[in-house]
Structure 1
Amino acid sequence: MENKQKREITIGWALLPLIFMIVSMFGAVYFLELAPHIPLMIGTAIAALVAYYHGFSWEEVEEMMYKGIKLALPAIIIIILVGLVIGAWIGGGVVATMIYYGLKIITPSMFLVTICIICGIVALAIGSSWSTMATVGVAGMGIGLSMDIPAGMIAGAVISGSYFGDKMSPLSDTTNLAAGLTGTDLFDHIKHMFYTTIPGLIIALIAYFFIGRQFSGAHLDRDKINSINTGMENQFVLSPWLLLIPVIVIILVAVKVPAVPALVVGILLGFGAQIFVQGNSILQAATTLQSGYVIDSKDKFLTELFNKGGLESMFFTISMTIVAMTFGGILEYSGMLTAIINIILRFARNTGSLVAATVASCFATNATCSEQYISIVVPSRMYIKAYIDRGLHPKNLSRALEDGGTLTSVFIPWNTCGVFILATLGVHAYEYGPYTVLNYVIPFISIFFGFIGFKIVKMTDAEKVYYSEKSLG
């Protein structure tokens, strides 16, 4: 096909694919309970038609999609390794050991603090807030309700801890997406999030400490806890020595070992633990890496917690990332995102307002697209050029994406996260919302730091050139 005369895409045309995608996403996710892939493909098709109408050839549209996918390849590699780590650590007994010792420290007055910390540790270990809420969170709801603690309070503490661990875990898909799509090193991204996330966690724990004091005379259901721990003892060899595996990975990160080799070490150690500590065969351990760990138990809690991991468990996230980046690639390289962002940047004249716009855009995407992955993918491509042009390191953007996207998804009842929490914990967003302290405190901390310039990292000229080539393609 011959190239037609290219015309600048105006804001009205630029918004058209987003509107189609948002409407189809809302209908598919909220009403039909489908995955977000098809709505993204609809948005991609509309974006391609808009680009073609404005003079781009089909070959150029295809190239835009390929360039979008290429930007996500580093994140996809990490996501693949994450699936292997989760399987290896569950099969090696590492995750079970963390939960086992965590459940031993619960007391009624400190229940909210403790369940928040336990959920944080488990989510940090497995990289999934959803899996943590569906297992440890469900158990925590039962234990807390037996002490007459309101469901909203329990769910708020569970969600805060789960999202803290998910956000800070190198095994988390959203964490890898935020880093990969902005061209930021994974562990640089995680370390940069410490400055907003740790204060948020401290504030949340202080709040739960004071809220929990009113339950100091409550009865603790030790039988339920003992049942959970006994079930894990029957399935795994539990030893504090297994905690050395995540400690070693943390040390590797601290001494600046890159993400891929650090995760490979974690995989090998977990693989070895499954063979030499748990007594499984090499075939069983290898199968765990491929298709995940499978536990033989009649206990629903243990089955839901430990039947996961492996390469195959990551295919949903990988396929969604590829589809999302075909959509993002057309929006970006056709000039549609430029048309949208130029309107926003008229009001975002300084760093604080730029960070605020990023966080607000992530929240708006959560509310309109009903999917937290999209709240990272779309804003990442919208704002990356603005951050680089202003000499701001991309890790400022990756942090804002997580602060505004990953965390705020829980407050939208029709978002997949809000729907999942209602189905899993049995608590509505309006009930747990006031008590999900970490999730609403951190976005405000992020914006505040943007305005005062605290821990906002600038780039050197050489870094600006490097990230322009790496992140903008």
Structure 2
Amino acid sequence: MEQGNKQEMKLGWALLPLLVMIGVMLVAIVLLEQGPHIPLIIGTAVASMVAYKHGFKWKEIEEMMYKGIRLALPAVVIIILVGLTIGAWIGGGIVATMIYYGLTIISPAYFLVTICLICAVVALSIGSSWSTMGTIGVAGMGIGLSMGIPAAMVAGAVISGAYFGDKMSPLSDTTNLAAGLTHTNLFEHIRHMLYTTVPGLFIALGVYFWLGRRFSESGTDSSDITQTLAILQDSFFISPWLLLIPLAVIVLVAKKVPAIPALVVGIALGFLAQYVIQGGTLADSVGALQSGYVINTGNELVDNLFSRGGLDAMMYTVSMTIVAMTFGGILEYSGMLQSIMNQIVKLAKTAGSMIASTILAGFATNATCSEQYISIVVPARMFAGAYEKMGLQSKNLSRALEDGGTLTSVFIPWNTCGVFILGTLGVGAFEYAPYAVLNFIVPVISVIYAFTGFTIAKLHVLQTVPPDDQRQAQ
């Protein structure tokens, strides 16, 4: 399979692999109730054939796949470490302690608002939505489910809070990436995002407050919560001192320790907590890291909450990430994605349509390339010159990249973010999507601002009058 003479990638050919993949995906997920792996593999096969038809050699197509996978390797490492963290923290009684005190302190009526705000503060402090969801989010799911709140609602509140903090944190990699690629001052970029993201958070909190009214104490079976608390006390050693372990991880990341070594510290502390404090055997402690913690109390809710985590549990997520990135790699490096992006750019004739097109491009890249980093990088390259020609400051582009790329990544089931959330919180994208309010309302706010001109910063060109002409005018 050797071929040369690369041809220009027409829009129809560029769209073909995507349309085939989405069509097969709908059949597999909706009708057959299967996972997205096989549809992505079929999409990859079609993309490979399209690339080959347009003059790419097979070795080049293979390299495109490998490039895509390389982009996802940092995410794969984090996914694995989060799986180990969940197993270690459940076995060490850390998650049980957070759930125990959460059930005794937080009112069910205000739980969705509370967990959203807690995740927002933690993510803002450490700059990572994934680390927040993999630690605080897991405990939040346990508390919410124990209160009788649907998993999709809890996951939506966790996601909204985590992505608010991640988006607004100067420690966030996506925030720094969007600012750096557009040559925008980091704090100017963050200040400009306040106009869309803070209203989005208030709307999300309002929705969670409204949803939480049905879970008031009078509408919640207190006997179920009492039973859960008793089982937790019988199954784990509960102590507020165990909360120092997640606090230590948060402090480390806030001190700009990279996420990987910070998570490793959390895993080690959780492992020691299970072995020393909870009285588990060495085999049990290692087993919790490998295959997850297992508990049998006879209570279905508690057993489901605490029988999870470990390296093995994350292999579905890892395999999904690798398969998705092989598909995305071919689309990106064969020019298919660029062909699609070029058509989107052509539609932008005004400032409003330019910003709306950027947000649409971010969402489209999340769907096609399955990675939120690419949804920032590719549109940034495509739109930078167009924004300058239209007289728009770069912070408009950096904000649109985050509003359309970072936030919408969670709505694509085969995107690395959607896959991570499924593996960590146990809820699929189609289930939590209606409740991830911040993530879908901020892009809407951003588009409204774009077409009304509100907060859209223009480039100011100062025109000086020559001295002679100035004197004549006087």
Bin of the TM-score, shorter chain as denominator length: 0.7 to 0.9
Structure 2 spans left out of the alignment, 5+ residues:
123-128, 167-171, 181-185, 388-393, 458-474
Q: Distance in 2 between matches of 1:168 and 1:137?
A: 20
**What is the Cα deviation at residue 74 of structure 1?**
1.5
Q: Note if 1:319 corresponds to 2:319.
A: yes
**Which position in structure 1 is the counterpart of 2:154?**
158
1:86 has 2:86 as partner? yes
Name the SS of the counterpart of 1:83 in structure 2: helix
Q: Sort the Cα spacing of 1:408 and 1:11 in 2 relative to 1 into closer, same or farther, 3 A.
A: closer
User: What code does the residue aligned with 1:340 have?
Assistant: I
Which residue is equivalent to 1:405? 409
CA displacement at 1:219 relative to structure 2:
5.2
Paired residues of 1:119 and 1:136 also in contact (CA < 8 A)? no
> Aligned partners of 1:114, 1:166: CA distance in 2, in Å?
12
Q: Distance in 2 between matches of 1:180 and 1:288?
A: 35
Distance in 2, matches of 1:428 and 1:329, equals 28
Residues 11, 440 of structure 1: alpha-carbon distance in 2 compared, 3 angstrom cutoff: closer
- 1:35-92 deviations in Å (ceiling 9; x for gaps): 1111111111111111111111111111111111111111111111111111111111
* C-alpha contact (below 8 Å) 1:92/1:271 kept by paired residues: yes
RMSD: 4.6
Aligned residues: 419
Amino acid at match of 1:127: G
Counterparts in 2 of 1:377-396, with a 5 A limit?
A: 379=375, 382-383=378-379, 385-386=381-382
Indicate if the aligned counterparts of 1:65 and 1:325 stay in contact, CA closer than 8 A. Answer: yes
Cα distance in 2 between the residues matched to 1:44 and 1:444: 32
8 Å Cα contact 2:141-2:154 kept in structure 1? no
1:88–1:270 Cα contact (<8 Å) kept: yes
Kindly state the Cα deviation for residue 137 of structure 1 after the two structures are TM-superposed.
4.3
Contact 1:64 1:329 in 2 (8 A): yes
Match of 2:35, SS state, is: coil
| Structure-1-length-normalised TM-score | 0.72
- CA distance 1:239–1:377, shift in 2 (3 Å): same
What is the DSSP-based 3-state SS (H/G/I as helix, E as strand, rest coil) of the residue aligned with 1:33? coil
Distance 2:32 2:256 in 1: 45
| C-alpha distance 212-91 of structure 1, shift in aligned 2 (>3 A) | closer
- What residue identity is the alignment partner of 1:281? T
Instruction: Give the structure 2 partner of residue 67 of structure 1.
Output: 67
Q: Is the contact made by 1:132 and 1:305 (CA closer than 8 Å) also made in structure 2?
A: no
The 3 A distance-change label for structure 1 pair 84 and 166 is farther
> Structure 2 vs 1, CA of residues 381 and 204 (structure 1 numbering), >3 Å: closer, same or farther?
closer
Question: Map of 1:270-419 to 2, 5 A cutoff?
Answer: 270-348=270-348, 356-357=356-357, 359-360=359-360, 374=370, 376=372, 379=375, 382-383=378-379, 385-386=381-382, 397=401, 400-406=404-410
The residue that corresponds to 1:57 in the other structure is 57
Q: 1:169 to 1:288 in 2, by over 3 A?
A: farther
Correspondences of 1:142-221 after superposition (within 5 Å):
157-164=153-160, 167=163, 200-209=200-209, 218=218, 220-221=220-221
Please say if residues 116 and 162 of structure 1, whose CA atoms lie closer than 8 Å, have aligned partners that are also in contact: yes
Q: Deviations over 1:417-467 (max 9, x none)?
A: 9x99xx989x999xx95x764454333355578876799xxxxxxxxxxxx
Q: Residues 115 and 158 of structure 2 are in contact (CA less than 8 Å); yes or no, is this contact kept in structure 1? A: no
Partner of 2:183: none
TM-superposed deviation, 1:200: 3.7
Moved more, 83-92 or 192-201: 192-201
Structure of higher CA gyration radius = 2
1:233-261 deviation line (CA, Å, top 9, x unaligned)? 11111111111111111111111111111
Instruction: Give the Å deviation of 1:198.
Output: 6.2
Over 3 Å counting, the alpha-carbon distance change for 1:269 and 1:64 in structure 2 is same
Please give the per-residue CA displacement for 1:196-236, whole angstroms capped at 9, x wherever unaligned. 66654444334544676798794543211111111111111
Report the more deviating stretch, 352-361 or 256-265. Answer: 352-361
Aligned to 1:20: 20
